[in-house]
Structure 1
Amino acid sequence: MYVDLHPRLQQDQDAVEASKLISACVHCGFCLATCPTYLDGGDERDSPRGRIYLLKQLLETGTAGAATRRHLDSCLTCRSCETTCPSGMQYGNLLDIGRGMMERDAPRPLPQRAWRGLLRQVFSRPALFALLLRPAQWLRPALPRALAGKIPPRQQVGEPPRALHKRSMLVLDGCVQQAATPATNAAAARVLDRLAISLVAVRSAGCCGAVNYHLGAHEPGLDNMRRNIDAWWPQVEAGVEAIVSCATGCGSMLAEYGKALAHDPGYAHKAARIAALHRDIAEVIAGEDLAELGRAAGTQRIAVHVPCSQQHALRQGGMVQRVLSSAGFELSVTRDDHLCCGSAGTYSVLQPQRAGRLRERKLAALSGDRPDVIVSANIGCQLHLGEAAGIPVRHWIELLDEALATSAPKT
């Protein structure tokens, strides 16, 4: 698809990059069949192909209005279309650029800017989010069911591993995950301890940058990335083996550090190195001798929800199932695994009606084989599904940790 850049945008780095990305699109329409928002409403402007045409119009005319913003906002950035696309279209990258240009050149009304700014501040700052979450958790038993369901209960973290191993990996603590489900990273540390790997947190690291970046606030998002690189770099230079995330949404952002900071001469090399070191916790465990873990003592039937960030961004669909099956868990049958649950970072807050419909569809696809528990690999999906599932929704690593703890000792 050819783009005739508007004269005003011919020297704009973002616009030039967007036009190059659009050129990969052959407007075949294969993406429509796998786009959750198009399937939900049937409006082609809410499909990848439709949004590409809207961005092409922006690049050629130099202007865009509320309709373009509305359809860009409706995208989940699930990237299912990238998995489907026969021509290798980097749609997620294009959408990020387009959203950033819209925020810069066609500012939103003040109430929208204020609301989105508040979300960015709260969700990208673990200490602030924890400060707001704790009182809500204390009040949870007295709240109406609908409101209480949106508040994750407090978790028991358990004992940390005591041994220090020769092999060590860094862990991204995360923002919402650090406050809402701290047991996840604690469980990951114990499971890796069984594999003689120490999982180390660097407290000066913070938000991965996804919240800011995907909401069009690119500079704050890039600053988040630079802060993490600075925090981790001494350990990288010392030879740390990997940087592990237990939330695939964060992990898919870490994997993009090199691309996002490619034009920053002070960080381009370091960012590419960080991206190369990133590993999802499932990828780490799957790469080890799974016999070393032993067999789990779990008796529950598990439905595995594969987050879009794991399946379409990291291209690691099926990896959690492989680890759990090898550990002895019984997995139930699921369907439509390629479709989004509707969480998508802040999407479930900003687009609650559509997110709710997508959640209903996903829960039906996960629950048809009557599982006892649903597991996910991403904190946002876990909390979003958990509001309405009717059965427990947990991170899979927590289930594995508990089952291994109650299984027979290794021989």
Structure 2
Amino acid sequence: MQTSLTAEFLATPEGREADAILRACVHCGFCTATCPTYQLLGDELDGPRGRIYQLKLMLEGVPPTRTTQLHLDRCLTCRACETTCPSGVRYARLADLGRAELEQRVPRPAGERLTRWLLRTLVPYPGRLRPFIALGRLARPLLPTALRRKVPAKRPAGPWLAAARDRRMLVLEGCVQAVATPATNAAAARVLARLGVTLIRADSAGCCGAVSTHLAAPAEGLDFMRRNIDAWWPHIEAGAEAIVVSASGCGTMVKEYGEALRNDPAYAAKAGRVAGLARDIAEVVAQEDLGRLKARAEGRKVAFHSPCSLQHGQRIRGVVESILRGAGFQLTPVPDAHLCCGSAGTYSLLQPELSGELLANKVAALQSGGPEVIATANIGCQLHIESGAAVPVRHWIELLDEVCS
């Protein structure tokens, strides 16, 4: 499409990037067919094409309004539109650039500002988050049913094993996952130890930066990225083979560090190296000799929910399913598997009604095949689906760990 962005914005790296993305869009509308919010609301402005048009107007100098903000807030950034787009439009990146710009132009009410500040101040910090989750667990019996189901149950991590061989990979412990489901990375360590790889933790690493980035605080997000790079770099120089990420949402972010920091002369090269080393746990496991795991699931029925960040963000499709089938699990059919569950980072907290509708649809689809357990690959999806499912919800690496001898 043709654009005429304001000269002031076009003079910035962000402006030139946004202009290139906008020009790639031909407004064909294929994206609307797979957009979860468009399917629910039927409003062109709540689909990718409509949101792109609204962002284009804003960046060309048309004053945005609270209505503009509302439609962009309703976007899940699930990236299903990117999978569908024949022109390769990088919608998610445009949305993040637009959110940051929109935040400066349209003031939010005090309540919204406070909520978003609290999320950015609490969620990315395990030390701050841990007491709140512990308190929620203590009060769980007294909470209303709907709220009680949102409090994650305590999950013992179990031992963190090391391999006999001298192969080492870094692991991102993250923020919410480190507190709510520490069993996930511990299970990943045990599986990889059986495959001859030791997972090592960098103590000063933390949140991948996605929470701040997607809540229109890009500078804050970049600071999280720099901190992780600094924490990982000595291990990378010492020969760590990869950076393993078991939360697919975080993996999507880490794989984009090089792009995010390409204009930072002090970090550009390191960020590119880190992005190149980032691997989803499924990518790592799939490359090893799985016969060494001696896995025997004996036909246990599993419904696999492929997170948007895995299938649309990282474009990893069918890999987890292949691993689970190879281990002996029976995968049940999941209708509309390309659609979002409604978690989407902080979306379930900021857009509870839309998120709730998407959750109900997703749980119905996942449970339609009568599984014993639901497996997924992202902490946000796991906790969100767990709040509405009638069967247990686990990270797939934990299921694999359980059936290995």
Q: TM-score range by the shorter chain?
A: over 0.9
Note the C-alpha offset of 1:64: 1.1
Contact 1:32 1:47 in 2 (8 A): yes
Residues 158-207 of structure 1 deviation map (CA, whole Å, 9 limit, x = unaligned): 12215453111000001110000000000000000100100011010011
| Counterpart contact for 1:213–1:221, Cα < 8 Å | yes
Deviations 1:311-366 (A, max 9, x none): 00100011110111111111111111111000000000000000000111111221
In the alignment, what sits opposite 2:187? 187
- How far apart are 1:138 and its partner, in Å? 2.1
Letter in 2 for 1:23: R
What are the superposed Cα offsets for residues 57-99 of structure 1, whole Å, 9 maximum, x if unpaired? 0011253111111111100000001000001101111111000
In the other structure, the counterpart of 2:170 is 170
- Aligned residue number for residue 69 of structure 2: 69
2:267 alignment partner in structure 1: 267
Map 1:304-315 → 2, pairs under 5 A: 304-315=304-315
Q: Aligned letter for 1:382?
A: Q
Question: Measured at CA, do residues 338 and 264 of structure 1 come closer, stay the same or move farther in structure 2, by a change above 3 Å?
Answer: same
Asked if the contact 1:14/1:101 (under 8 Å) is kept, the reply is no
Contact 1:9 1:62 in 2 (8 A): no
Task: Give the structure 2 partner of residue 54 of structure 1.
Answer: 54
Maintained 8 Å contact 1:8/1:62: no
Shift of 1:298: 4.8
| Counterpart position of 2:347 | 347
Tell me by how many angstroms 1:142 deviates. 3.4
8 Å Cα contact 2:382-2:394 kept in structure 1 = yes
In 2, Cα distance between the equivalents of 1:282 and 1:8? 44
Greater displacement, 108-117 / 280-289: 108-117
CA shift in 2, pair 1:297/1:13, >3 Å = closer
* Aligned twin of 2:326: 326
Query: Does the 8 Å contact 1:372/1:391 carry over to 2?
Result: yes
CA-based RMSD: 1.2
1:177 partner SS: helix
Secondary structure of the 2:60 match is helix
**What does 1:19-38 correspond to in 2, within 5 Å?**
19-38=19-38
CA distance in 2, matches of 1:199, 1:216: 33
Deviation at 1:12, TM superposition (A): 3.1
Which one is further off, 144-153 or 200-209? 144-153
Counterpart Cα distance in 1 of 2:162 and 2:359: 40
In the alignment, the residues of structure 2 paired with residue 331 and residue 250 of structure 1 have an alpha-carbon distance, to the nearest angstrom, of 25
For normalisation by structure 2, the TM-score amounts to 0.98
> 2:102 — aligned with what?
102
Residues 39-61 of structure 1: per-residue CA shift (max 9 Å, x gap): 01000101000000001100112
What's 2:257 paired with? 257
Matching of residues 214-293 of structure 1 within 5 Å = 214-293=214-293
The one-letter code of the counterpart of 2:254 is L
Structure 2 contact 162–198 (Cα < 8 Å) conserved: no
Does the CA-based 8 Å contact 2:304-2:376 persist in structure 1?
Answer: yes
Q: How does 1:327-406 map to 2 (within 5 A)?
A: 327-405=327-405
Q: Which runs of 5+ in 2 are unaligned?
A: none
TM-score by length of 1: 0.96
2:55 and 2:162 map into 1 onto residues whose CA distance is: 53
What is the distance in 1 between the residues matched to 2:159 and 2:182? 12
Q: Is 1:296–1:400's contact at 8 Å kept on the other side of the alignment?
A: no
Aligned position for 2:197? 197
Matched letter for residue 276 of structure 1: G
Shift in alpha-carbon separation, 1:18–1:238, aligned structure 2, 3 A: same
Q: How many equivalent residue pairs? A: 405
